[in-house]
Amino acid sequence: NAGVTQTPKFQVLKTGQSMTLQCAQDMNHEYMSWYRQDPGMGLRLIHYSVGAGITDQGEVPNGYNVSRSTTEDFPLRLLSAAPSQTSVYFCASSYSGTRMAETQYFGPGTRLLVL
């Protein structure tokens, strides 16, 4: 198992550009989510999905869009990049989205710099 994979590892964007951060998992997990990591703030939930075709907003969803057409993939789209979106983005997955003791598995992250 590759686990949770993310591409690209690093990206530089100009303000106003759009891009898609890719996330895939091969563990047949129903629940996938995106977090952003900012210094001194830990990780914060952006969007999540509980299955193909089902997504919802997390704590900081503004400026981001998601879709989930397959169980394996959960891409995150930046519609019009802003410097405030400079961050490290982590994708996570777990088997269940409702059992609170469930372990979430994280990808290696995408480091995004918006100029």
Partner 1 sequence: AQSVTQLGSHVSVSEGALVLLRCNYSSSVPPYLFWYVQYPNQGLQLLLKYTSAATLVKGINGFEAEFKKSETSFHLTKPSAHMSDAAEYFCAVSDKERGGYNKLIFGAGTRLAVHP
CA distances to 11, 19, 28, 103 from 112, in Å:
5, 10, 27, 26
Cβ closer to partner 1: 69 or 102? Answer: 102
Q: Contact region for partner 1 (CB under 8 A) — 19-27, 62-70, 72-80, 97-105?
A: 97-105
- Burial 29-46, CB ≥16 within 10 A → b, else e: bbbbbbbbeeeeeebeeb
Q: Contact region for partner 1 (CB under 8 A) — 14-22, 61-69, 78-86, 87-95?
A: 87-95
Candidates 25, 33, 85, 93; binder of partner 1 (CB under 8 A) is: 33
Residue of 1, 5, 3 lying closest to 90 (CA atoms): 5
Interface map 35-64 toward partner 1 (x if CB under 8 A)? x----xxxxxx--x-x-----x-xx-----
Give the CA angle between residues 88, 91, 95 to the nearest 5°.
155
- Does 25 bind partner 1 (CB under 8 A)? Our answer is no
Q: Where does this chain bind partner 1 (CB under 8 A)?
A: 4, 31, 33, 35, 40-45, 48, 50, 56, 58-59, 90, 92, 94, 96-109
